[in-house]
Amino acid sequence: MVNIMLRFLFAAFTSIIMGLLFMGIGRKFIARIRRHYAGPFYQSFIDVIKLFSKKSISHNWIMDFGVMMGFAGIIATIIFMPIGPFNVFSQMQGNIIIIIYFMTIGYLGMAMGVAASGNPNATIGIARALTLMLGYEIPFVLTVILLVFANNSSLLQVMVVNQQGGFMEWNAIRYPFAFLAALIALQGMLGEQPFDAMIAPSEIASGPMVELSGKFLGFGFLQHAAQIFLETGIIVNMFLGGSQNFFIFFAKQLALYLLTVAVSGIFPRYRFEDAVKFFWMAPTALAAIQLIIFII
Amino acid sequence: MSYNSAILLIAAPLLMAFLSFILGIFNKRIPAILLVLTLSFNFYFSTYLLTLVSSKGVLVSVISGFEPPFGINLVLTYFSLLLLSLIYLIILSASVVFVSKKTDENTVKVATLLFLFTAAASGLLLTGDIFNMFVFFEIFAVANISLISLKKNKTSLKGSFKYLLLSSIGSAFLLFGIGMIYGTLGTLNIAEIGLRFYELSPLTGAFIFIMFLGAILSETETFPFNFWITDSYKGARNFVNILLGSASSVAALYIFFRLFFTIIGYPINNRYEFLISMDARLIIALISAISVIVSEIGALSSKSVKRILAFSSASQMGMILFAFSISDFNSFSAALTLIFNLSLSKAILFLSSHEIMKGAKEKNIESFTGGLGRNPVFSALFIFGSLSMVGFPLTLGFYGKISLVASAVSASGYFSILVFVILLASAAELFYYFRLMHKLFVSEQNHTEKTKMNWFYAASGSLLLAVMIILALMPKFTERIVSSAAGDMMDKTTYIERVLKAEDLK
Amino acid sequence: MILYSFLFALLTALLSLFIRREYNYIRWILYSAVLASLTFLIYTMNGLWGYSESFKLLSVGSVDFSLNFKVTPLSWLFSFFTTGLSLSISLFSIVKNRHEESERSIGFFWLILSVCNIAIFLSADLLTLFIFWEAMTFVSFFVISPGWTKSFKAVNYYFILSILGAFAMLVGIFFLYSKSATFNIESNIAQLFVLYELNSPQAIFITLMFVLGFFTKSALMPFHIWPAEAHSEAPDDFSSYLSGIMIKYGLYGSILFLVPLFVFISKFSQTQPMSNHIPLFSHILAWVGAITSVVATFLAVKSNDMKRLAAWSTVGNIGYAATSIFILSSMGVAGGIFHIINHAIFKTAIFLSLAAVKYRTHEREMHRLGGLAYKMPVTFLTFLLGIIAAAGIPPLNGYASKWMIYQSLLSGRFPFLATMIFLSSTGAFMYLFRALHSVFLGQLPSKFDDVKEVPFLMQIPMYILMLLMVIIGIFPGTVLLPVNSILKSMNMEEIKVTYTTMYSMLSSVDAPIVFLVFAGSFAFAFILYLIGKPRRHVELLDNYTAGQDPKEFGLTREMYHFALKFYEPFEHMFDKYPRTNTKEFYDSFERKINETGSFIKKFYSSSPRSAVYIFTLSIVLIIIYGWLVW
């Protein structure tokens, strides 16, 4: 029992710390691309600590509850994801369907929390985010189905094991179209440009975050950090062979994240209905082609 | 009383028709009371004969000593007596309704007409002679026409005129057919015609078949021979509606059976085939299916309640004819169940809808609004009647409809396709009946006045309802009468044997 | 025993008609008591598999009408859950119908409906099934539309479609009966299988008739339009019965009749076309289910009426269950049954909470509502748990069945079906959140300032349903173990499951662990929350308004509630594509029939002369026909 709790805490803290670190490095990276300056790579840690110590306002108990639930949902999902060689539970090592559904708790919690704040900007952002979700889930699910078929298991751990033995065995090489589709879906999942219509700061005042202050914004930060860790982690496990080594695992994640940041650095924002259309066209077609190739 | 006094069933109403004219001079109530009494007697006597027939088989009552096939004779079969009792029951309930009306100068005449109607119906169902049948057919039509025109407004006169035209064309056809038979076979006795029909050339047979079709399809309210129905039903008075919708239809179906099955058909392999060159079953089935569809669609867009009920009656008759056209034991059982359902529930529907709509200016479906609050007894009657009509499970209509489907499907061929079409069409029936029932539940206020409850109506309605419930809930009883009647219908040989060798049985 | 309990219930219904208006709560308490005793009776039948009762009615011609009841694991599970749920709804109705105008007829017919409900599940042969099916259809007409003009229009779609479906089923039943001379379900399945080998088109026709009967009732494509109409216009508490219980009959029929047939075919037939190791027919039906769920999802996203939205959601869920059932694996059938039960529970919860909202606010359009969570916390929680379950989010019951559906789809190799189900599942999250936000979150309109939580008696069923959702979510075995005995009775391979864990070929899920992980993460978040500096409460309108003072430019709470046209841009995505509107199709069909009817009617009241012409013409036609045949 204590063992499990410790493993739980390890997973939770790793994800938060690594996620915040990725965010910091990402900021530096984008600053290099755009040729401006950024804070130190530990800036995100400072931000979070600062936010948690500032005073904050809340409109009602549902807002408190929702924001907590949003963060808890992402953490709970991470518990099921293999982090390098590490798994919290011995069975259910990365049950991908559970993971996909657990991720929704995070979205629901956050959405509920900010909707309870009563600010229309926040709700518009949520509406956009949910619509976008309908877009990127389709290619993502198709790639998931492909890998489930290929490995005859829906466990991420099994997928990782099947990719051992050099990078030629990686699913990214075996199924390049699917990998491409998953990368585009990842861009949408992380809400990076060109798929960031839900936070559009100048248009709807940062969308969901508009009414968050102090520790609520801190929760939002943490959630985003954990989300980066989670989603890059899933793709690494699925396509880049996971790793038996923590540091290689994190490095792969970081590489993926920097790739998305780089893409976001050079793309303008899509209208979100166009984004949904795009998701249903290009990446879905890619994933479907890969799936059909595989079945044939 | 023995079965030889069966002539009483015809004679008593005829006698009373004259008597009531005389007695009506003294008191206008007397004919009405006589009417109820006569009908009760007739009903009782016909059920008595029914029990007699069920134990002894087909009986022949010879009149004035001439043996069949030469003389006039009455043939008592289970089937005819069953339908006759049913008809008496309907006329009885209609006359109870009639009695409740205020007397006026017409009362005596109407009572006479009702006596005439009863006598004609009895004659139609009992006679074993086709020319007699024609005569009674005429009397019957005359009584119907006069009864329809009682209201003396435009619709009523138009309706009765249409009825007059169509039924007289029909009887001309019938007469022509009879003449043809007499000319070729030299006999008018139904049994003998049935025995010797094969002697005719197939062409003559086909011709007679078409003549008979023309004669009867107008009476059975079959499209496209039934253009009288909407105006006649709409224009007629309430108790006439009951008579038209229930009693006349039953009588017409009986004639249909005698003309087509006892005369033209012959049973083989437990099924009637026809002695003519074309597929008579297909023709009847097609016509009846078309009739069902057309009348259902017509009812769907009608607003007047009486017109809806008229169309519904036509569609039910179509269904029964369809069951006849399958012409085996199962389908006859189904047809009998449907006949019971049609006559009883249609009478209830006419009766209760009249009471529900009383007080409303326009007699259309809107006047049903709030019926349940205004008039709970008759609304309940209406709901029961229409539930049975549309075949709510475990009512007579349900048994009838299901066994119709069963027999049609097992007959296979075009019947199974046609029955599917008929079922689809009868979804429309459900729709308009449920629309009416829905209106009863509506609690919005409307301008219909609350009227006083008419106990005669209630009594007559609940009498019919009681019969219906007894038939539905006493399986052994219903099963017995339906299967003996259907068996009787299948058994053409016995009919002929008994009629032609009547002297041996004495 | 079964029949007598039915008669008892019917008698109670009849007697209750005489209870006067002022004491109408007695009527509803009586109903609850009857339902409680029925629930208990069915509970005691657990394990009495094969217990049967038979009552002979009438035999007309060759058909012997009789009522046959039989307890099987399948019928037990369905009847127990549905009766239990109706009991909880009836508790809700006691207070809800206190001031209802037409509660007398609602209650009377509803109790009859509950009897038909149990009888449908317990019926042992096709004729009994049909009898109660028909009775249920007829009776439900009066509950959906107890004399309300608006709901009458809505109920017509339901009624006509159901009747046509029932008639189709009737024809199917009798086609089989003419071959097998029995109504027994097993022998008819065997007969139909034989027919598939001998005369395949006819067998397909018969199967299609049954499919029509079942699919119209369960509102699968292309009959999916009726729930949105009927569920939204029905009495509010009855909507939950309609949506939670009654829409399942079609699926029940499919499990009872079609699934064993298709399993039979896939095991033994050499002649039938197969795809993905299941009969092509079944595969097509699975696709129908998936397409239904996607279409229903998109239509739900568009609706602004909360009951209509929930009705579309029901159609979507029926689509999942149908897909899962028709892929015929044990996992699929088990997942389908499990999802049916789960859906019954959470959709009842959702509709009851909506009924509670309407009870207090008398509003159904979502943009007129808002912020009710602050006033009606129990209702809000019920709705929240309901949508969590409906969206398939752990740790409530919905995810367990959805997990099984995915497992079955993936292990049976149906990638595109799985994708479609996934699409509609995500869409479900979209529209359910919209309902949550528009009704319960956001700004509270000022006219609802003094709205209170519903009375305690109405809360009780909500507590029960919430508890059920959580318990089944944590211990899926409570339902899945009985489901296993169903599979056994259907001669299918049992699935591997314990009280807590579900296994599939691809992976396994330990439900309590899932729950504990969620609870642990929440505790973790809560600790972080406590670590942070305590927050301060401010009122709702004290909000970010781009630096303006709200009162200065006359901002009201209603204006600051973003609810109308929530997903408008999403809806506009499909503007360019031509749309087929099923409802419009049905409506135009109805118009055509009405036009024909008016034409016929006009003809009938035309002059006597034309009547005679037609008469003569028809006779001539018949003669010509005779001539041609000659």
Last residue of a domain, one of C114, C147, C180: C147
Mean residue pLDDT across chain B: 84
**Omega within 30 of 0 (cis) for the link into B69:** yes
pLDDT tens digits for range C185-222? 888 888 888 888 888 888 888 999 999 999 998 888 88
Mean pLDDT value across residues B2-17: 81
Are the C-beta atoms of C619 and B248 separated by less than 8 Å? no
When scoring C433, C504, C556 by the number of chain A Cβ atoms within 10 A, the one with the most, hence best to mutate, is C433
C203 and C138 within one domain: no
Rounded Cα gap, residues B216 and B248, in angstroms: 12
The answer to whether residue B424 sits within a structural domain is: yes
C296 and C153 within one domain: yes
- Answer yes or no: do C441 and A101 touch at CB < 8 A: no
Rounded Cα gap, residues B466 and B487, in angstroms: 26
- Answer yes or no: do B227 and C622 touch at CB < 8 A: no
Sign of CA dihedral A70, A76, A78, A80: negative
* Chains C+B touching (3+ CB pairs under 8 Å): yes
- Bridge partner list, C508: C503
pLDDT tens digits for range A122-181? 888 888 888 888 888 888 888 888 888 888 888 888 888 888 877 777 888 888 888 889
- Domain containing B238: what range? 3-499
- Domain containing C600: what range? 595-629
- Answer yes or no: do A91 and C508 touch at CB < 8 A: yes
Rounded Cα gap, residues C498 and C478, in angstroms: 9
- Model confidence at B447: pLDDT above 70: no
- Model confidence at B504: pLDDT above 50: no
B positions 27-86 inside 8 Å of C (CB): none
- Answer yes or no: do C611 and B394 touch at CB < 8 A: no
The answer to whether residue C322 sits within a structural domain is: yes
C271 versus A256: the higher-pLDDT residue is A256
pLDDT of residue C620: 83
The answer to whether residue B289 sits within a structural domain is: yes
Q: By the CB < 8 Å criterion, does C17 face chain B?
A: no
C92 and C182 within one domain: no
pLDDT tens digits for range A69-121? 888 888 888 888 888 777 777 766 678 888 888 888 888 888 888 888 878 88
pLDDT tens digits for range B292-314? 988 888 888 888 888 888 889 99
Residues of C in contact with B390 (CB under 8 A): 138
C positions 582-601 inside 8 Å of B (CB): 593-598, 600-601
Candidate from A37-51, B100-114, C77-91, C412-426 with smallest mean pLDDT: B100-114
When scoring C143, C169, C173, C615 by the number of chain B Cβ atoms within 10 A, the one with the most, hence best to mutate, is C615
ipTM, interface predicted TM-score of the complex: 0.91
Residues of B in contact with C175 (CB under 8 A): 409, 416
pLDDT of residue B67: 63
When pLDDT is cut at 50, 70 and 90, the band that residue B110 belongs to is confident
Which residues, other chains included, contact C40 with Cβ-Cβ below 8 Å and sequence gap of 6+?
A: none
Residue with tokens 């044990």: C330
The answer to whether residue C77 sits within a structural domain is: yes
- Model confidence at B321: pLDDT above 80: yes
- Model confidence at C91: pLDDT above 60: yes
- Tokens encoding C169: 């089923």
Are the C-beta atoms of A113 and A62 separated by less than 8 Å? yes
Cα of B114 to nearest chain C Cα, Å: 26
* Chains C+A touching (3+ CB pairs under 8 Å): yes
Give CA angle at C233 (C115, C229), nearest 5°: 95
Task: Give the count of alpha carbons within 13 A of C452, CB side only.
Answer: 5
Which residues, other chains included, contact C408 with Cβ-Cβ below 8 Å and sequence gap of 6+?
A: C324, C327, C329, C331, C332, C335, C504
Rounded Cα gap, residues B62 and B79, in angstroms: 19
Rounded Cα gap, residues B253 and B339, in angstroms: 9
Rounded Cα gap, residues A190 and B380, in angstroms: 66
Rounded Cα gap, residues C28 and C99, in angstroms: 12
Last residue of a domain, one of C509, C544, C568: C509
- Contacts A–C by Cβ distance under 8 A: 238
- Tokens encoding B305: 């309640």
When pLDDT is cut at 50, 70 and 90, the band that residue C341 belongs to is very high
Give CA angle at B215 (B209, B219), nearest 5°: 130
C497 and C409 within one domain: yes
Mean residue pLDDT across chain A: 84
The answer to whether residue B363 sits within a structural domain is: yes
C465 and C450 within one domain: yes
Mean residue pLDDT across chain C: 86
Residues of C in contact with A153 (CB under 8 A): 506-507
Q: Which of A211, A273, A276 sits opposite C543 (nearest CB)?
A: A211
- Model confidence at B1: pLDDT above 60: no
C423 and C377 within one domain: yes
- Please write down the long-range contacts of B167-171, taking CB distance under 8 Å and 24 or more positions apart: B167/B141, B167/B218, B167/B219, B167/B228, B168/B141, B169/B214, B169/B218, B169/C612, B169/C615, B169/C616, B170/B214, B170/B215, B170/B216, B170/B217, B170/B218, B170/B219, B170/B225, B171/B134, B171/B137, B171/B138, B171/B141, B171/B215
Number of domains in chain C: 3
Rounded Cα gap, residues C315 and C303, in angstroms: 14
Are the C-beta atoms of C464 and C95 separated by less than 8 Å? no
Q: By the CB < 8 Å criterion, does C422 face chain A?
A: yes
When pLDDT is cut at 50, 70 and 90, the band that residue C343 belongs to is very high
Strands A56-58 and C535-537: what pairing? parallel
Mean pLDDT value across residues A183-208: 78
The answer to whether residue C153 sits within a structural domain is: yes
Residue with tokens 């079709």: B213
- Model confidence at B182: pLDDT above 70: yes
Rounded Cα gap, residues B499 and B67, in angstroms: 9
C122 and C11 within one domain: yes
pLDDT of residue C211: 92
Cα of A216 to nearest chain C Cα, Å: 8
Q: Which of A68, A127, A149 sits opposite C566 (nearest CB)?
A: A127
pLDDT tens digits for range A207-244? 777 778 888 888 888 888 998 898 898 888 888 887 78
Q: Which of B213, B218, B301 sits opposite C622 (nearest CB)?
A: B213
Which residues, other chains included, contact B431 with Cβ-Cβ below 8 Å and sequence gap of 6+?
A: B300, C156, C159, C160
C187 and C115 within one domain: no
The answer to whether residue B298 sits within a structural domain is: yes
Cα of C164 to nearest chain B Cα, Å: 6
E-strand stretches of A143-250: none
C527 versus C576: the higher-pLDDT residue is C527
- Model confidence at C337: pLDDT above 50: yes
Mean pLDDT value across residues C494-500: 81
pLDDT of residue B66: 64
Residues of C in contact with A69 (CB under 8 A): 522, 525
pLDDT of residue B446: 60
Rounded Cα gap, residues C533 and C530, in angstroms: 7
The answer to whether residue C260 sits within a structural domain is: yes
Rounded Cα gap, residues C406 and C119, in angstroms: 32
- Bridge partner list, C274: C279
pLDDT of residue B506: 38
The answer to whether residue B506 sits within a structural domain is: no
E-strand stretches of B355-437: none
Nearest to C410 by CA among A2, A194, A144: A144
- Please write down the long-range contacts of B69-73, taking CB distance under 8 Å and 24 or more positions apart: B69/B187, B69/B188, B69/B189, B69/B191, B69/B192, B69/B499, B69/B500, B70/B189, B72/B127, B72/B129, B72/B132, B73/B127, B73/B128, B73/B129, B73/B189, B73/B499, B73/B502
- Answer yes or no: do C145 and B438 touch at CB < 8 A: yes
Q: By the CB < 8 Å criterion, does B176 face chain C?
A: no
Q: Which of C63, C102, C127 sits opposite B443 (nearest CB)?
A: C102
Mean pLDDT value across residues B334-362: 86
Q: From the CB of residue B505, how many other CB atoms can be counted at a distance below 10 Å?
A: 12
pLDDT of residue A87: 78
C418 and C350 within one domain: yes
When pLDDT is cut at 50, 70 and 90, the band that residue C630 belongs to is low
C607 and C470 within one domain: no
pLDDT of residue B496: 84
Q: Which of A97, A108, A216 sits opposite C406 (nearest CB)?
A: A97
pLDDT tens digits for range B229-269? 888 888 888 888 888 888 888 999 999 998 888 888 888 87
The answer to whether residue B505 sits within a structural domain is: no
Q: Find the residue in C nearest to A205 (Cα).
A: C546
C341 and C325 within one domain: yes
Cα of A69 to nearest chain C Cα, Å: 6
When pLDDT is cut at 50, 70 and 90, the band that residue C555 belongs to is confident
Number of domains in chain B: 1
When pLDDT is cut at 50, 70 and 90, the band that residue B65 belongs to is low
Which residues, other chains included, contact B129 with Cβ-Cβ below 8 Å and sequence gap of 6+?
A: B72, B73, B188, B189, B190
C neighbour chains, 3+ CB pairs within 8 Å: A, B
C284 and C432 within one domain: yes
- Model confidence at B505: pLDDT above 70: no
Rounded Cα gap, residues B360 and B447, in angstroms: 7
pLDDT of residue B68: 62
What are the two backbone dihedrals, phi and then psi, of residue C95, each rounded to the nearest 5 degrees?
-80, -35
Give CA angle at C96 (C107, C443), nearest 5°: 145
Last residue of a domain, one of C110, C128, C147: C147
Rounded Cα gap, residues C517 and C514, in angstroms: 5
When pLDDT is cut at 50, 70 and 90, the band that residue B69 belongs to is low
Percent of chain B with pLDDT over 70: 94
Rounded Cα gap, residues A28 and A40, in angstroms: 7
Residues of B in contact with C159 (CB under 8 A): 430-431, 434
Are the C-beta atoms of A31 and A37 separated by less than 8 Å? yes
The answer to whether residue C32 sits within a structural domain is: yes
pLDDT tens digits for range C138-182? 998 888 888 787 888 888 888 888 888 999 998 889 888 888 888
3-state secondary structure C110-131: HHHHHHHHHHHHHECEHHHHHH
